Structure 1
């Protein structure tokens, strides 16, 4: 599921500041990066399954590995994990309404905070 109405696609921001804001909302980068790309994930374990809210981005300046980069964010996604295959983000997936609402709230708050320092 894509969350297209939040305007993340137009945001460019400092990596270290993004890391701080995302961590406040349980979105962690951990090992989800390379020198040009990042992925912030939040895991939700529900009776309906395991789900991930993911915000992706890529470096438009600098180097992610050196923690000195400007990141352009992409459209946030919600996916369901299927063992052992991985996370599916397809249009055919069904997501609990309460989870979608929770993700929308998180994304609204994250976007508002990031907008205060975004380029």
Structure 2
């Protein structure tokens, strides 16, 4: 767990720069493990649900941006995906739950591969909310 914290710290510094000056952007990060070799189901889920909702959110100015990063699994860092959602400021961040509820309701049912439910093919190992960016 200590190695995971160090890795996450290094990742955050690398992603958001080395300057101590803050800007208004705020991100959430999810570190996701693929379960039992269900890579196809996991990628399908994020491509056809998570990503679609974020595309809709960008179009409506509910979020600033989003990104998915893939990394090899290791014992020290037991995850394969890092999901990032970035908000332009705290006001946008504070409205995230109501905005995503609206988008989920509009979008309808989850799109799933092989009728597997999300908890069967992926697990969020670590989540970090309200990550502030540096300029």
Task: Give TM-score scaled by structure 2 length.
Answer: 0.36
Higher percent of residues as strand: 1
Q: Which has the higher contact order (CA 8 A, sep 6+)?
A: 2
Higher percent of residues as helix: 2
Q: Which has the larger radius of gyration?
A: 2
